Amino acid sequence: MRLKILVVEDDREIRAMMQSSLSVEGFDVQTAVSLSEARALLQHASPDVIVLDLGLPDGDGVELVQQVRQQQTLPIIIVSARHQEAQKIRSLDAGADDYLVKPFSVGELLARIRVALRHRGTALAAAITEHTLDDLHVDLATRLVQRDGDTVHLTPTEFNLLARLVRSAGRVVTHRQLLTDVWGPEYTEHTHYLRLYMGQLRAKIERNPAEPRHLLTETGVGYRLAIV
Amino acid sequence: MRRVVRWPRMNPSTPPAPLARPLRTGASVLGLLALATVGAYGLDHQVSLTSQAMLYVLVVVIAAYSLPRLASILCALGAVTAFNFFFVPPRWNFAVDNQEHLIALVAMLLVALVISHLANGLRRETELARSSEARARQLQELATTLAGATDAATARGLGQQALDAAFTGPNHLSLLQADGALDGDTLPDVADGLRCCMREKAMLGPGTGRWPGLNAWYLPLGDARQTFGAVCIENIQAADEAGREHAQALCALLTQTLGRVHLAAAMLASEAERQRQQVQSTFLAAISHDLRTPLAAVVGAASALQTQHNKLSTAEQERLLGSIVSEASYLSTVTENTLQLVQLANTSQPLQRDWEAMEEIVGSVLARVRARDPGRRIQSRVPEGLPLIRADAVLLAQLVGNLLDNALKYSSGAIDLVVSADNERLQVSVKDRGEAIPPERQQAIFEPYARNDQTGQRGAGLGLALCRAIAQAHGGSLTVRRRNGGGNNFTFSMPVDPQQPVGDAPCA
């Protein structure tokens, strides 16, 4: 069965580019040019992924993210321009799964969609509890973290931080989401905890902490655990 | 601190406590009369009646000079009566037996009245002279202090001070705002009067011939061409012509100053606008060059693919496609840098600072830049345990990224990325082995669109200008030095907050 993608984008050229390159990859692509059209389409169609541009003529994309999240868990990928930084982060905090910044390449778009689909349904079905990439192996069930086969000893906070990223492996997790899930909702402004603990975690896990292989920084947004 | 000048009140009708004054005046009259009587009695039988009368004349003159008119008349009448009662034969009654004495008494009364009248006139003139002198002095001092006023608010404060010193008030001074409203909180009817006098461009109120029914003077602050505001002076007298003239003189001075301040502000604004337009046009001329060149390459390659792709070899097509992608991404970088620089230069809003780790910023930049560094020419050295910095991570990433992009573009050897820090400063150095920038160009390369262009290679446009703007926005600096053995060392340095955040947090 062909996977269905809803592309919400008001610029004609970019919409046409996404439609053709996604169709070539075998997706069934539907397009909408505004929030209202997207809402109308969502009432009948049930896409597997939504690619949502933030700069739409009839409203804030964050509204659509919130609305969709009330009923569905389908992946939402945000497409933003550089000046929409704040709106992008609000959308991610509201439950969008990932983001792309214009101008982006087709390769990046496809990679994001692949990651999003990997997580499809994980909120309902079994969550990711194991992660392996190159020299790193993490098993959340047994609280085991290994590098090159050697056990890495993490403090409880370091482990919780890593575990939160493993559950969303490949996807960006915002600062606010990490602080809320690891420290608690009253710590959302304590960004320095993240800097300090992420530094410790990198020192234990990465070969070269200054050029990380696993714990990637999304500057100004959050962190991402590499899966490729 | 501003000097507070207090002038004596110049309104002649300064009201004292309501009852004290007549009582004191009455006591003075009685005292003077008693003094004359006692003196004359002491000289009784030793001198003539005329000399005794002279004593009474003396006190009448004193009273006429120093006491109000009514008191001096009462004093004269009292003197005549007392003299008659105590000394004029027959003594100890009011009868006068000699016609000569009667004439003397009447003459004495007339002399007293004339002196009183003259003395009063003299006193009034002295008072007027004194008050007009004080007013002249106030005008002069106000002119001096106003000369130093460079903004309307200062002029307004000085004006209000001068009004309060000159008039009992309450006095209101309101200036017209840009939106046409009057500033300050005045009562509606006062504001109404202020507006009316501004509209009529003339003084209103008692004695002015306009709206004599008002109980205050309203004066516009302005001339035939412009109006800056208005003044209201309450508790005035229609007959106080000198006061009215003084109020007009004060307002004329204020108007002059406000006009000067206004003109200076307008000149400053137009000069700033002229400079802004000049900067903008050089900026536009320069950016259009940096945008046109890659755009021409993109259009050229794309149109070649469109019209000739059957005739082109696969390798040739690949090359054209590669050129489109790289030129377009260069365009994107130039656009980003331009927008960021304009934003940093134009917005007054502070940076979005947060606690950031330089290790992370360097890591994210390397992840991006490695795509253009297949040979891994960049070697990074980042020590452990760097202090956290209060910074805008997106901007710092742009700074480090631009420096690395430049080094990749302008040099061919190894590139060192070195981070170091002590308790006070954090430094990031990007060292290349490319052609050293001559010392005389080391400042110019940080100017927007000045570029070390001997290589014929396109520069990062305003990349370095943006880097320096970002460094300065963080209270830091960006400098370039020639390296020993050839090449350039670009160093970004910024202060480290001595108050580092504490990392202890409960585990959830």
**How close A192 comes to chain B (CA, Å)?**
5
What pLDDT shows up at residue B506? Answer: 52
* A63-108 pLDDT tens trace: 999 999 988 888 999 998 877 888 899 999 999 999 999 888 899 9
- What does the block give as tokens for B224? 């035939």
Confidence check: pLDDT of B455 > 70: no
Rounded average pLDDT over B93-121: 77
- Name the band, by pLDDT with cuts 50, 70 and 90, for residue A205: very high
Please check whether residue B258 lies inside any domain of the structure: yes
Confidence of residue B239 (pLDDT cuts 50, 70, 90): confident
Interchain pair A195, B388: CB under 8 A: yes
Assembly ipTM: 0.88
State whether A193 and B339 contact (CB < 8 Å). Answer: no
pLDDT digits (tens, 9 = 90+) for B311-349: 888 999 999 999 999 889 888 888 888 888 888 877 666
- Residue B159 backbone dihedrals phi, psi, to 5 degrees: -65, -45
Q: Which of B113-127, B439-453, B459-473 has the lowest mean pLDDT?
A: B439-453
Give the pLDDT confidence score for residue A153 in this predicted structure: 96
A34–chain B nearest CA distance, Å: 26
Higher model confidence: residue A103 or residue A164?
Answer: A164
Residues B474, B426 share a domain: yes
Sign of CA dihedral A145, A150, A156, A161: negative
The whole-angstrom distance between B300's CA and the closest CA on chain A is: 20
Across the interface, whether the CB atoms of B508 and A182 are under 8 A apart is answered yes
| pLDDT band per the 50, 70, 90 thresholds, residue B3 | very low
Q: How many domains does chain B have?
A: 4
| CB distance B208 to B242 below 8 Å | no
Residues B117 and B176 in one domain: no
Q: What's the length of chain A?
A: 228
Contacts A187 to B, Cβ<8 Å? 505
pLDDT band at B206 (very low <50, low <70, confident <90, very high): confident
The phi, psi pair for A225, rounded to 5°, reads -90, 125
B449 vs A139 pLDDT, higher one: A139
Q: Is residue B202 part of a domain?
A: yes
B170: cis peptide before it, omega within 30°? yes
**Residue B168's closest CA among B219, B203, B239, B217?**
B217
- Taken in order A16, A22, A28, A33, is the CA torsion positive or negative? negative
| pLDDT score of A204 | 95
Higher pLDDT, B72 or A1: B72
Whether the per-residue pLDDT at A120 is higher than 80: the answer is no
Which of B82, B157, B158, B75 has its CA nearest to residue B119? B75
- Portions of chain A given CATH number 3.40.50.2300: 4-118
Other Cβ atoms closer than 10 A to A146: 15
Task: Measure the CA–CA gap between B445 and B437, rounded to whole angstroms.
Answer: 9
CB of B331 less than 8 A from some CB of A: no
A36 vs chain B: nearest CA distance in angstroms? 31
Long-range contacts of A83-86 (CB under 8 A, 24+ apart): A83/B339, A84/A54, A84/A55, A85/A220, A85/B394
Residue B187: what pLDDT? 82
Q: What is the spatial distance between Cα A116 and Cα A75, in angstroms, rounded to a whole number?
A: 6
Question: Which of A138-147, B281-290, B385-394 bottoms out in mean pLDDT, i.e. has the lowest?
Answer: B281-290
Helix axes B152-166, B99-147, angle to 10 degrees: 170
Determine the Cα–Cα distance for residues B133 and B180; give it in Å rounded to an integer.
Answer: 38
Interface of B with A in 346-405 (CB under 8 A): 354-357, 359-364, 366-367, 380-382, 384, 388, 392-394, 397
Which among B208, B241, B266 is the end of a domain?
Answer: B266
What secondary structure does DSSP assign to B171-208, as a single string?
A: EEEEEB-TTS-B-S---HHHHHHHHHHHHHTS-BBTTT
The arithmetic mean of pLDDT across residues A3-25, rounded, is 92
Give the tokens for residue B159.
């004006």
Of B389 and B76, the structure prediction assigns the larger pLDDT to: B389
Tell me whether residues A209 and B506 touch, CB distance under 8 A: no
Are B360 and A184 an interchain contact pair (Cβ–Cβ within 8 Å)? no
Question: What integer pLDDT is reported at residue B505 of this predicted model?
Answer: 55
pLDDT band at B13 (very low <50, low <70, confident <90, very high): very low
- Taking only the tens place, the pLDDT of each residue in B422-431 is 989 999 999 9
Query: CATH assignment of A4-118, given 3.40.50.720, 1.10.10.10, 3.40.50.2300, 1.10.760.10?
Result: 3.40.50.2300
Compute the residue count for chain B.
508
- Would you call B466 exposed, middle or buried from its count of C-beta atoms within 10 A (0-12, 13-18, 19+)? buried
Does residue A126 carry a pLDDT above 60? Answer: no
pTM of the predicted protein model: 0.63
The percentage of residues in chain B with a pLDDT greater than 90, rounded to a whole number, is 26
> Does residue B201 sit within a domain?
yes
Q: Which of B298, B326, B345 marks a domain boundary?
A: B345
**Is residue B163 located within the same domain as residue B124?**
no
Closest residue in B to A193 (Cα–Cα): B503
Domain that holds residue B48: 20-131
Residues of chain A with CATH 1.10.10.10: 130-225
B89 assigned to some structural domain: yes
Q: Pick from A181, A202, A211: which is nearest to B380 by CB?
A: A211
B255 and B291 share one domain: no
Q: Could you give the C-alpha distances from A87 to A54, A81, A83, in angstroms and in order?
A: 8, 10, 9
Distance from CA of B497 to the nearest CA of A (A): 13
Q: What is the pLDDT of residue B504?
A: 61
Pick the most confident of A76-80, B76-80, B188-192, B448-452: A76-80
Does the distance separating the beta carbons of B363 and A209 come in below 8 Å? yes
The stretch A117-141 carries a mean pLDDT of: 79
Percentage of chain B beyond pLDDT 70 is: 92
- Of B131, B157, B178, the residue that ends a domain is B131
Which residue from A157, A202, A208 is facing B507, i.e. has the nearest CB?
Answer: A157
CATH, domain range A130-225: 1.10.10.10
pLDDT, tens digit, 9 for 90 and up, residues B398-426: 999 999 998 998 888 899 999 999 989 99
In the predicted model, is pLDDT for residue B196 greater than 50? yes
pLDDT exceeds 60 at position B451: no
Residues B85 and B39 in one domain: yes
Mean pLDDT of B5-9: 43
Average confidence (pLDDT) over B34-43: 88
